[in-house]
Amino acid sequence: MEIYLPPKTISKSLVLRDPQQYGVKRKKCLIIYPGDIASEFLKEPGLTNFYTVDCWDGTAKTDFATTLSSAKYDVVLLDPSSNITLDKSQLKFINDLRVKQVSVYNLASFHENFTKRIPLAHFKSWLINSDMFFVSSRQAFLIQKRFIDMLMSLILAPFALFLVLLAIVGIKCTSKGPAFFIQNRVGMKGRTFKIFKLRTMYHTPESTNNSHTVVNDVRITPIGRILRKTKIDELPQLYNILCGHMSLIGPRPEKEEIVAKLVDDAPYYNLRHSIRPGVTGWAQVNYPTATPEHNMQKLEYDLFYVKNASLILDFKILIQTVRVVFTMNSL
């Protein structure tokens, strides 16, 4: 079996293009004892462009030692979902590879780093038993993040207030109803809070208008479409940040009934609530055109953020958010 994987130095936008025009040299990888994670990994789009990958499951004509020594592999991947324990001789060969500067990775981690999301298939094997979401070990980061949220909110407040006032005038002049949209959402630790947004749809009682937003939704007003594309409708959430309900960066908060359904479908959905929800997030910049039907795909990006949250990643998300806003590449 042979497929190709892109090296880390290649931009995600280049994955589906011809690697030869970028002078990329294909590298050889070997997956030892492929399991469920390997099966999911091999389905990733764009993998056939860069790395050559062989799989060894113990049924090959050549034994373990011969396989590793007969080919010059650049990367060796160990699949934790195979539930096969390597014996002492196999461990020795693996460690000898490390001595020879061959990269040896856990396939689940390699898969995550390649896609910049956590595939939900991982939860069926090793991830649910991992300590990767032990958030209390990151208290210093959470304190720094909260300080930056407060500082940035206060700095942005005058500019945001000006835009919000202009938007309110536009909303009131073009459609009937309140200027603000207020709704209960689920936040950190599963606590409910009221989120504030500028109204972008024609006003109807929420009890009669409880469906998701869809592409080209006819309920969105002309000015509401502009507010959504430019994210101006989200600016009132600076108040939520100052109140401690939200952060600038984090998973987007959902309604209680949606959370209840998604938790029932995916028990690990609640892991999103181990950190403050955000005005923008990793899912929003990687999948800006996602609709509610893509909640499970967005969840993979949200879990990646919860696991890997850092000030550097937050800065990267902010930069990408600016790109999304200026290109108006969102729903």
pLDDT at 7: 43
Provide DSSP, 193-211: EEEEEE--B----GGG--P
Cα distance between residue 147 and residue 135, in whole Å: 18
The rounded distance, in Å, linking the Cα atoms of 266 and 299 is: 10
Q: What is the pLDDT of residues 49-64, one digit of tens each?
A: 677 888 888 887 778 8
Confidence of residue 196 (pLDDT cuts 50, 70, 90): very high
pLDDT at residue number 312 = 94
> pLDDT tens digit string along 268-304?
888 899 899 999 999 999 988 777 778 888 999 999 9
* pLDDT the model gives residue 126: 53
**Two tokens at 269?**
């959905």
Q: Which two tokens stand for residue 323?
A: 């790109």
Query: What pLDDT score does 9 carry?
Result: 38
Question: Which 3 state secondary structure label does DSSP give 305?
Answer: helix
Give a three-class secondary structure readout of 125-170: CCHHHCCCCCHHHHHHHHHHHHHHHHHHHHHHHHHHHHHHHHHHHH
pLDDT at 12: 42
Contacts of 254 (CB under 8 A, 6+ apart): 185, 186, 262
Q: In sequence order, what DSSP letters do the residues of 38-81 get, joined into one string?
A: HHHHTT-TTGGGS-EEEEE-S-SSS-HHHHHHHS--SEEEE-GG
**Domain boundary assignment for the chain:** 12-129, 138-327
- For the chain, count helices (H), then strands (E): 11, 8
Query: How far separated are the first and last CA of the chain, in Å rounded?
Result: 39
pLDDT recorded at residue 24: 59
Work out the pLDDT band at 2, boundaries 50, 70, 90. very low
Q: Return the CATH architecture of domain 12-129.
A: 3-Layer(aba) Sandwich (3.40)
Mean pLDDT of the chain: 83
pTM for this predicted structure: 0.81
- The 3-state DSSP class for residue 3 equals coil
Q: How far is CA 127 from the centre of its chain?
A: 16
